[in-house]
């Protein structure tokens, strides 16, 4: 009789423990199309999908994704996973990539520039907008400088004013409004924000150069703390299981998808 009384208690405790399992995520509260505090970004949706797959409830620590983000969040123990990191990030242990994208050129369809490469001579005579990341420039901006294209380049802070929604949107909106002629934008931002504009915009992916130049195409993974091989293994299994759903999610957010092997250089974002 004692055994019969103990068995249900053990089962209830286990069920309670399973119900209380949590996937702790650190994310930016104002960084669409990736994440925001309302849960509208594709990384929010991915976190929920992975949480359901793992049988865990998603809980967030919100933190602006700026310099020191990983140090102050994941590596400080405030969470167990960060949703979108370059696959080669050296400050975290990264999972298998769940998408691969590129920097892209963005310009109005009615301008019909036909530009597909940074080597196009038309770029020397057009107003070009690029995102600036703190004191750093992304690879395409550096590539332009190496081509002597600097005087006609306009920098837009990727951080902006956090009192306003979606700071990175300003660069794409500048193209739509005609303030600049061409923008060079990280693909997921370009694909998402271009669909919000009332004018048609062309998005032309930049392929990696065969001349050993800085790469424009990058693989993106989830990040966990170094040494947390168990979490990495569980997340990899969930990513594999939900591969088709993740692809559909990325398509729904108009994320340009690049094919090919993983590149092991820094994204600059």
Show the domains of the chain with their CATH numbers. Answer: 2-99+218-252 (3.40.190.10), 101-205 (3.40.190.10)
Take residue 180 and report the two structure tokens written for it: 């600049």
Weakly modelled stretches of the chain, pLDDT under 70: 1-19, 160, 210-212, 260-269
Q: Which of 132, 102, 100 has its CA nearest to residue 117?
A: 102
Q: State the pLDDT at residue 99.
A: 98
What confidence score (pLDDT) does residue 265 get? 37
Give me the pLDDT at residue 7, please: 32
Among 38, 102, 31, 119, smallest CA distance to 69 is for: 31
Model confidence, pTM: 0.87
**Which pLDDT value is given to residue 159?**
81
- 156: cis peptide before it, omega within 30°? no
Fill in the DSSP letter of residue 121: G
How many C-beta neighbours within 10 Å does residue 69 have?
18
Find the farthest-apart pair of alpha carbons in the chain and give their distance in angstroms, rounded.
Answer: 88
* CB environment 119-129: b (16+ within 10 A), e (fewer): eeeebeebebb
pLDDT at 55: 97
Q: What tokens does 146 get? A: 């190496």
Beta bridge partners of 106: 183, 203
- Residue 35: what pLDDT? 97
pLDDT, position 136: 75
Count the Cβ atoms, other than its own, within 10 Å of residue 10: 9
Q: What pLDDT was estimated at residue 212?
A: 67
In whole angstroms, give the CA distance from residue 179 to residue 32: 22
The answer to whether 213 touches 86, Cβ cutoff 8 Å, is: no
> Nearest 5 degrees, angle CA 140-CA 142-CA 145?
110
């Amino acid at each position: 009789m004692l055994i019969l009384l103990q068995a249900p208690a053990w089962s209830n405790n286990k069920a309670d423990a399973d119900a209380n399992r949590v996937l702790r995520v650190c994310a930016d509260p104002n960084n669409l199309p990736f994440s925001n505090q309302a849960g509208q970004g594709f990384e929010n949706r991915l976190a929920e999908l992975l949480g359901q797959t793992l049988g865990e409830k998603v809980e967030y620590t919100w933190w602006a994704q700026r310099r020191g983000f990983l140090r102050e969040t994941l590596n400080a123990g405030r969470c167990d996973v960060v949703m979108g990191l370059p696959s080669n990030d050296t400050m975290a242990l990264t999972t298998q990539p769940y998408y691969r994208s590129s920097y892209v050129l963005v310009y109005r369809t009615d301008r019909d520039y036909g530009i597909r490469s940074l080597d196009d001579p038309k770029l020397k005579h057009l107003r070009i907008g690029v995102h600036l990341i703190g004191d750093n420039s992304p690879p395409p901006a550096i590539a332009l400088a190496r081509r002597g294209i600097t005087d006609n380049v306009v920098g837009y802070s990727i951080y902006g004013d956090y009192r306003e929604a979606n700071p990175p949107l300003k660069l794409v909106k500048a193209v739509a409004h005609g303030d600049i002629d061409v923008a060079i934008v990280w693909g997921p931002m370009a694909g998402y924000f271009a669909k919000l504009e009332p004018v048609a915009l062309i998005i032309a992916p930049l392929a990696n150069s065969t001349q050993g130049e800085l790469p424009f195409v990058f693989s993106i993974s989830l990040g966990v703390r170094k040494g947390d091989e168990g979490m990495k293994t569980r997340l990899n299994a969930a990513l594999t299981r939900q591969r088709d759903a993740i692809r559909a999610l990325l398509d729904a957010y108009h994320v340009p998808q690049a094919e090919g092997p993983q590149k092991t250089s820094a994204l600059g974002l």
